[in-house]
Amino acid sequence: MDLEKLKEVLEGMPAFREKQVKQFLFKNFVEDFDEMLSLPKDLREKLKEKCSLEITAEVFISENGDTVKVLISLTDGARIEAVLMRHEDGRNTACISCQVGCPMGCTFCATGKMGVTRNLTLFEILEQVLFFSRYLKKEGAVVTNVVFMGMGEPMLNYDNVMGFVRILNDKNYFNMGARHISISTCGLIEGIKRLAEEKLQVNLAISLHSPTDEKRGRLMPVNAKYPLAILMETLNDYYEKVGRKIMVEYLMLDGVNDTDEDVEGLHKLLSKERFFINLIMYNPTGMFSPSLGWNVKRFKDNLEKKGFTVTQRYRYGRGIKAACGQLAIEKKKCEC
Ligand code: SAH
Ligand code: SF4
């Protein structure tokens, strides 16, 4: 798909034209300019000449159909992954990427191992949701939720991520409530501060993974720049400004961060009124082992005894390598 020239084509036309074209694209999910019959023919021809609506993608569907992974080729040949998770309650969550790779280098993350090539444009971020919107349209369903938990660090591509959020949120287009959109960050405080000023009810998720600087620093290089004291101060300010609970993402790594001491550390670090904890099952990428089932249960029980609200992320799409932290690495390997 290539919509970079859309603005140029629509230049000088009345404002309603832009809205009309965008409604075809982002509300009706039309895949062909020829179907935009209410547009003048010469405009349709020009759009066809300068823009492309075709999404080049390989699709992988899990055995039970609850997960759809898509590997999208961008116009410069870069490839990104996005995943659709179909929940039993009818929600359809798109987990999308915001960068090609990621520069943050978290030791447990496959995307982090790739390094970063570039930021995605606003339209490239949109392309991922659009792919699933078109896919679901065939059965009369829609994407109900979007999470930035694919490849990349959203706070490093802030303007395009927020531009995208506004289109999703816009009643004229996707009309998705901000509360259905989640932005996950490894803890870049400038971005968290900017987000606090947006006056948008999006969900903020913070990848914490350990309550101590020593351990977090070994897992996540970002901790050297923004240690926990600064991060917590920023998150608490965020809560005070926005008033919405923050999701703490906590990867369960066997023998690394799943002990009683860690429960105690989380208890001391986090206010139960401001944070809830989402335990993430580790998808092995080489360096660590996932926590054992009985220990995850024990860890969760102990956190609940301390008064925390704790959720547990179901593992979607492992059979098709569509789980968190596994995105894009397989294809990269094939190229070597
Ligand atoms: N860069 C952002 C968002 C993308 S990562 C961030 O770090 O928050 C989305 C989530 O996937 C993060 O919580 C991250 O810690 C987690 N993740 C990374 N590698 C993983 C793996 N191998 N198994 C499970 N979760 C992983
Ligand atoms: Fe980047 Fe997030 Fe992976 Fe860390 S966990 S390397 S920030 S994508």
Q: In sequence order, what E strands does 123-222 have? A: 145-148, 181-185, 203-207
Q: Is 324 a catalytic residue?
A: yes
Give the span between the Cα atoms of 154 and 301, in whole angstroms.
Answer: 32
Query: pLDDT tens, 263-298?
Result: 999 999 999 999 999 999 998 888 899 999 999 999
Q: Which of 4, 45, 81, 233 is catalytic?
A: 81
Q: Among 54, 70, 92, where does a domain finish? A: 54
User: 89 and 26, same structural domain?
Assistant: no
pLDDT for 329 beyond 50: no
Torsion, Cα 76 44 165 329, to 10 degrees, reads -30
User: 85 and 47, same structural domain?
Assistant: no
User: 84 and 18, same structural domain?
Assistant: no
Q: Is 336 a catalytic residue?
A: no
> What integer is the mean pLDDT of 321-329?
55
- The confidence score (pLDDT) of residue 186 equals 98
Mutate to test the pocket of ligand 1, among 102, 249, 279, 326 (most ligand atoms within 8 A of CB): 249
Nearest alpha carbon to residue 326 among 4, 69, 122: 69
What count of other Cβ atoms lies within 10 Å of the Cβ of residue 301?
Answer: 12
Give the position, in ligand 2's atom list, of the atom nearest the Cα of 102: 1
User: 315 and 190, same structural domain?
Assistant: yes
CA of 324 to the centre of ligand 1 (A): 6
User: 151 and 12, same structural domain?
Assistant: no
Q: What is the CA radius of gyration of the chain?
A: 21
Q: Among 37, 54, 71, where does a domain finish? A: 54
Mutate to test the pocket of ligand 1, among 185, 251, 258, 330 (most ligand atoms within 8 A of CB): 251
pLDDT for 334 beyond 70: no
The CATH number covering residue 2 comes to 1.10.150
Q: Which residues pair with 204 in a beta bridge?
A: 183
The CATH number covering residue 264 comes to 3.20.20.70
User: 309 and 278, same structural domain?
Assistant: yes
Mean pLDDT is lowest, of 78-92, 233-247, 304-318, for: 304-318
- The confidence score (pLDDT) of residue 99 equals 96
* Total tally of structural domains belonging to the chain: 2
Give the position, in ligand 1's atom list, of the atom nearest the Cα of 283: 23
Query: pLDDT tens, 137-152?
Result: 999 999 999 999 999 9
Q: Which domain holds residue 206?
A: 60-335
Give the span between the Cα atoms of 193 and 177, in whole angstroms.
Answer: 21
pLDDT for 72 beyond 90: yes
> What integer is the mean pLDDT of 199-220?
96
User: 165 and 27, same structural domain?
Assistant: no
User: 185 and 66, same structural domain?
Assistant: yes
User: 242 and 152, same structural domain?
Assistant: yes
Q: What are residue 56's phi and psi, to 5 degrees?
A: -90, 115
138: left (phi over 0), alpha (psi -120 to 50) or beta: alpha
| 117 confidence band (pLDDT: 50, 70, 90) | confident
Q: Which of 98, 102, 186, 324 is catalytic?
A: 324
H or E stretch at 85: strand 79-86
Q: What are residue 96's phi and psi, to 5 degrees?
A: -125, 165
